[in-house]
Amino acid sequence: MSVLVVGLSHKGAPLATLERTVLAGDALTKLLHDVARADDVAGTLILSTCNRMEIYAEVGSFHGSMAAICDLLSRHSGVPHAELTPCLYVHYSDRAVQHLLTVACGLDSMVVGESQILGQLRSALRIAREQGTLGRALADLGSQALRAGKRAQSETGVGAAGASLVSVGLRAAAEQLGIDYGRERGATSLAGLNVLVIGAGAMSGLAAASVARAGAASLVVANRTRQRAERLAVQHGGRPASMADLPGLMAAADLVVTCTGAPGHVITAEMVHEALRQHGGPGRARPLVMLDLALPRDVEPGVGDIPGAAVTDLETLAAADAAGMQPGEAAVAAARQIVADELEAYLSAGRADRVTPTVVALRAKAAGVVESELARLAGRIGSVDSGVLEEVAKSMNRIADKLLHAPTVRMKELAGRPGADSYEDALRVLFDLDPAAVQSVAHADASLSRPAAGSSPRASAAGGSGGSSPRANTAPAGRREGTSDE
């Protein structure tokens, strides 16, 4: 089995298309189960964030699995193939592993080095595990990706500035208000501003914390669940409010930060018109600035065209020059080296796993030879004390173990290196191992690898990256073959 990823992100997909593919709750779990039930798929997880939607799967073949996953994503999101396919990228086998490691280290994010992706990946793994769709290979890869991301944050300066989508968004919003939020990283000031944060999730929590640190004059947190709004507001010195009061709350605010995860628009043009009417209309001293970090978007399209209102959303941020918030070249290079090291460790472990069946077959053959020789000896010497036969058997097994110890240990050492297949082939030839015997310990029992009809999909315990499939095979989904999209 190999790892396949099919996805789209802020790099190649319009926000209008990207937000339509975002799935949560029951919609997400339905897609998980449908992908897990697809032919030749042994496990899957879905990484869905504010700027990417990626489906990872353990698959036995490239083309068929890719086509099936693309079809399921189109069907579940409602985005037609003709619109979806040009936006997709595909990575396979070693390249898919490299991609996830790169994502976990924050190197593929809109704001390079941001650490929120680690929590999002951890959540994706948890959901897949709870739904029974997480195979062993993806579970191991996910754990390694989390470790790589933590290393990037702790061992390099890639995330040292604490730059995030929130910090970049707040800077852009402050500039719309005519305030120098701080070009230099860490130089933040929202003094004198009244800020309304809508939502109480992880992103809203980060926004509330950032606003409080920046010295805002007041902070109000509105959320559908009053208890969560109260908890977040108290934590950062603000006050909670009801979503039913949004027009009035917006009228009293200079800056509105929204990130709710709601399926529809939370802020409508009608609300904005009412908020502006209550607070001086289009001629108010400062525009009413809305920072929309949600996907799908919380702010209704067209609100930014209303006189006296301004909107900054993910599409705006993707096109903005965030150079002042990005880590230095040395930090990025160090994080990329971590990706390279972790990738080599993953591939070495995979190569070692692939020689295990040959080692097992070799020891099984030796045990068979010892057993047949003991049977022959017992037939020739006739009746003899059982204790003597037992000692002879132990001695013969020790001899076989000692003879096999050096070649099997050396084989495992060499297995982690490139070209290990040639050593494995030599072992099979030298000891005349039956290929069928090797295969018998290499493949899972087919009757146990797939769930029974009507049962919950459970991923096969067998798996890994590589095998006989093409390596580093990656292409935009619209072109089944070709070069990388990077």
Summarised one tens digit per residue, pLDDT across range 339-363 is 999 998 888 777 767 777 777 888 8
| 291 phi/psi in degrees, rounded to 5 | -100, 105
Q: How many angstroms separate the CA atoms of 52 and 7, rounded?
A: 7
| 50 labelled catalytic | yes
pLDDT tens sequence across 415-446: 666 665 666 677 777 777 766 655 554 444 44
CA-to-CA dists, residue 293 to 175, 189, 463, angstroms: 17, 20, 37
- Tell me which of 50, 87, 105, 259 is the catalytic residue: 50
Distance from first CA to last CA of the chain, Å, rounded? 24
Cα atoms in the 13 Å half-sphere on the side-chain side of 55 = 34
Looking at domain 2-161+472-476, which CATH architecture does it have?
2-Layer Sandwich (3.30)
Q: Return the closest-CA partner of residue 251 out of 233, 277, 270.
A: 277
What is the rounded average pLDDT for all residues in the chain?
A: 82
DSSP string, 212-241: HHTTBSEEEEE-SSHHHHHHHHHHTT-EEE
Q: What are residue 267's DSSP bridge partners? A: 299
H or E segment at 413? Answer: helix 386-415
**Topology of the domain covering 165-324:** Rossmann fold (3.40.50)
pTM of the model: 0.71
- 225 versus 280: the higher-pLDDT residue is 225
Q: What are residue 45's DSSP bridge partners? A: 56
* β pairing state of 2-9 and 41-49: unpaired
Q: In the prediction, which pLDDT does 233 show?
A: 94
Token pair recorded at residue 456: 């919950």
- Every domain of the chain and the residues it spans: 2-161+472-476, 165-324
- 76 versus 360: the higher-pLDDT residue is 76
Does this chain's domain 2-161+472-476 share its CATH topology with 165-324? Answer: no
Residue 168 has pLDDT above 70, yes or no: yes
Average pLDDT over residues 305-334: 79
Q: In the prediction, which pLDDT does 107 show?
A: 92
